[in-house]
Amino acid sequence: MSGHHPHNSDLHEPQDVTRKAITRRVALIGMGVNFFLTIAQILGGLWAHSQALIADAIHTLSDLIGDIVVLFASHHAAKDADEDHPYGHGRIETVATVVLGLLLGVVSAFIFYSAMERLLGHTPLVMPSPIAMGFAALAIIGKEALYQYTIYIAKRIQSPMLKASAWHHRSDAISSILVLIAIGGAQLGYPWLDAVAAIIVALMIFYMAIQLILESTNELIDAGLAPEQVQEIRDYINSINGVENLHFLRTRRMGGQVLADVHL
């Protein structure tokens, strides 16, 4: 006999509805904080003449766009299975994770290019005002708080998409830390630290982007679970009364779910 065995309690409709509501709340909170930080960093960068702070604001803006993607995906991914999508719409969440990864990659390329332009002298180095350090510190606190909150929820509901969003927040927090150091270094007479810090940030963000894209594309091409996880599922099925033989087991992931096709 051929059967479809969901290996996750989150497949029940009440949990799906709750998952959608939780993801929506996380996205809305992230959007609110990111909108405030983007405005604060842009105004602060213009007021304090800090190119690094303005660049960091662009990074924060990418987080805001990412939150909008999460909100859109969570709404559609929670839809029930239908005739055209018998396994549900969980892959929308996976595609959204790829989009977030690509967004991180684009942002890292922009930061890297701008920093190299400054470091090579193609763009004049500007001495920022000390007040820029206060705006950088505000961004660090806001982004790290968002990371801690989002990664906690992501683990609780097993959402790769929220995990991607959380790391987007963390990458921006790291960016803001290096911006703070760079602005402090500029006050001590080392304006080139701004460009060096930006390059380091760009490389870190790019690495995160590659990791997220690879993880999500593996899911899109139906990569199976690890051998030990497959064996755990096999042992569980064999322990069910009435199962005489299990001669086919195929697994894959879809969003926060694990799907298993079995022949008994």
pLDDT band at residue 148 under the 50/70/90 scheme: very high
| Predicted pLDDT of residue 179 | 87
In one-letter notation, the amino acid at residue 77 is: A
Provide mean pLDDT across the span 27-44. 91
Among 47, 92, 42, smallest CA distance to 71 is for 92
In one-letter notation, the amino acid at residue 200 is: I
User: Maximum Cα–Cα distance for the chain, whole Å?
Assistant: 77
Judge whether residue 247 has pLDDT over 90. no
Judge whether residue 76 has pLDDT over 70. no
Among 30, 19, 164, 169, smallest CA distance to 90 is for 19
CB atoms within 10 A of CB 213: 19
Burial of 241 (C-beta count, 10 Å sphere; 0-12/13-18/19+)? exposed
Average pLDDT, the chain: 76
Judge whether residue 87 has pLDDT over 70. no
Judge whether residue 256 has pLDDT over 60. no
- Which residues lie closer than 8 Å to 216 by C-beta, 6 or more apart? 94, 95, 97, 98, 101, 160, 164
| Predicted pLDDT of residue 7 | 46
Judge whether residue 57 has pLDDT over 70. yes
Three-state secondary-structure class, residue 130: coil
Taking only the tens place, the pLDDT of each residue in 197-227 is: 778 777 877 887 888 788 767 665 555 566 7
Reported in sequence order, the residue ranges of the chain that DSSP labels E, i.e. its strands, are 2-6, 248-254, 257-263
Of the two residues 153 and 103, the one the predictor is more confident about is 153
Give the position of tokens 């405005």. Answer: 39
